[in-house]
Amino acid sequence: MRPAKHPVSAALAGPYGHPFHPILVTVPIGAWVASVVFDLASHVAGDDAAYLAHGAQWLIAIGVLGALAAATVGFLDLFTIPAGTPAFRTGLVHMTLNLAVTVAFALDFWWRAAGTDTGRAVPAGPLVLSIVALAVLGVSGYLGGKLAYRYGVRVADETTQATGFRR
- 111-156 pLDDT, tens digit per residue, is 999 875 666 889 999 999 999 999 999 999 999 999 988 888 877 7
Q: What is the mean pLDDT of residues 155-166?
A: 69
In order of 49, 81, 135, the CA distances from 42 in angstroms are 4, 43, 20
The answer, yes or no, to whether residue 110 has pLDDT greater than 90, is yes
The answer, yes or no, to whether residue 60 has pLDDT greater than 60, is yes
The domain in which residue 36 lies consists of 9-156
Residue 2 domain-assigned (yes or no): no
pLDDT at position 145, please?
93
Kindly report the average pLDDT of the chain as a whole number.
Answer: 87
Is the model more confident about 41 or about 161?
41
Total length of the chain: 167
In order of 5, 9, 66, 72, the CA distances from 97 in angstroms are 23, 24, 16, 15
Residue 49 domain-assigned (yes or no): yes
Residue 1 domain-assigned (yes or no): no
Residue 165 domain-assigned (yes or no): no
The answer, yes or no, to whether residue 19 has pLDDT greater than 60, is yes
pLDDT at position 81, please?
85
The answer, yes or no, to whether residue 35 has pLDDT greater than 60, is yes
Q: For the ranges 52-56, 75-79, 127-131, which has the lowest average pLDDT? A: 75-79
Residue 118 domain-assigned (yes or no): yes
Residue 107 domain-assigned (yes or no): yes
The answer, yes or no, to whether residue 165 has pLDDT greater than 70, is no
How many domains, in total, are found in the chain?
A: 1
pLDDT at position 161, please?
64
What is the pLDDT confidence band of residue 36, given thresholds at 50, 70 and 90?
very high
Transcribe the chain into DSSP letters.
Answer: -GGGGS-S-HHHH-STT--SHHHHTHHHHHHHHHHHHHHHHHTT-GGGHHHHHHHHHHHHHHHHHHHHHHHHHHHHHHTTSPTTSHHHHHHHHHHHHHHHHHHHHHHHHHHHHH----SSPPPHHHHHHHHHHHHHHHHHHHHHHIIIIIS-TTT--HHHHHHTT--
Burial class (CB in 10 A: 0-12, 13-18, 19+), 136: middle
The answer, yes or no, to whether residue 10 has pLDDT greater than 70, is no
Residue 81 domain-assigned (yes or no): yes
Residue 20 domain-assigned (yes or no): yes
